[in-house]
Amino acid sequence: MVKGSTITKTEQQSSFLSRNGQKLFAIVIWAFLVGGIVTYSFVTGKSPTDILRDVVGLLQTPFGPLIYILIYAVRPLAFFSAIVLTLLAGSLFGPIFGVIYTVIGSNISATVAYFLGSVLGRGVLSDSKTDSQGIVQRYAERMRQNSFETILIMRFIYLPYDLVNYLGGFLRIDYKAFILATILGSIPGTITFVLAGASVRIDDVFMENFRPELNPWTLVASVVLFVGSLLLSRYFKRREAKRGE
């Protein structure tokens, strides 16, 4: 009985960690970041705005692009917004290099989240014993059979970036199809938000009376790309629906 009880407790602990390990890790990362910021603010006497200005200044150095890509790569571990960083890239690096650096960083981060999702989801969809698990298993198999188009549609309709990454790994979608669909499907969204960020000068953000001077051309191009990606998503969804019929 004692041995059986010990095994049960071990299995429960393992199950708890598999379900909540990612959340616990994210909490630790956030605690570390917040603690570091609070400590830095206390030691230097700087306000949050001053600290943000220091970070932006660091990204404007020759090592800024490398630091930006590194931050983007580890971003999914702390669930930091991909949109904020993408907008920042446009304002800091401009429309061309902003897109290049973001494409590199976002695809590295997608790979990190994909493999983390595959580790956390290992064994979850195997050996289905209930009807609900069977439904999930069948849906997962359908997604695996149409991996490329499924991920591509998710990118075009701007589903949360990390959600798609973790889902791809969790459902054990073929990595080659996943990363290719991510590279192609994320380009419209990346260009959209980089152009939106490029329409605002980063130095204007720190002015007391913040009134951004928008660049109308980059803003219009951003809107056109946004609408175009939505139309593409509708096309691929209809195509997939016809194939299913």
CB atoms within 10 A of CB 37: 15
Same domain, 122 and 160: yes
Reduced to 3 states (helix: H, G, I; strand: E, B; else coil), residue 125 is coil
Residue type for 121, please?
G
109 and 26 within one domain: no
Residue span of the structural domain in which 17 resides: 1-45
13/95 same-domain check: no
Burial environment of residue 182 by CB neighbours within 10 A (0 to 12, 13 to 18, 19 or more): buried
Q: Residue 51 has what pLDDT? A: 74
Which residue has better confidence, 161 or 135?
A: 161
Query: Do 5 and 106 fall within a single domain?
Result: no
Same structural domain, 170 and 213: yes
Q: How far apart are CA 68 and CA 74, in angstroms?
A: 10
Q: Where are the beta strands (DSSP E) in the chain?
A: none
User: pLDDT tens-digit profile of 65-109?
Assistant: 999 999 999 888 777 788 889 989 998 999 899 999 999 999 999
Work out how many domains the chain is built from and give that number. 2
Per-residue pLDDT of 183-214, as tens digits, reads 988 888 888 888 888 887 776 665 555 555 55
* CA separation, residue 41 to residues 30, 32, 45, 51, 157 (Å): 16, 14, 5, 7, 39
Q: Are residues 97 and 216 in the same domain?
A: yes
Distance between CA atoms of 226 and 235, rounded to whole angstroms?
15
**Average pLDDT, integer, range 113-119:** 85
**Residue 98 confidence (pLDDT):** 94
Which residue reads 């981060």 in tokens? 109
Q: What is the pLDDT of residue 102?
A: 95
45 vs 137, more confident = 45
- 80 and 198 both lie in a single domain: yes
Does residue 145 sit in the same domain as residue 232? Answer: yes
Q: Are residues 111 and 210 in the same domain?
A: yes
pLDDT above 80 for 18: no
User: Would residue 56 count as lying in a domain?
Assistant: no
**pLDDT range class, residue 124, cuts 50, 70, 90:** low
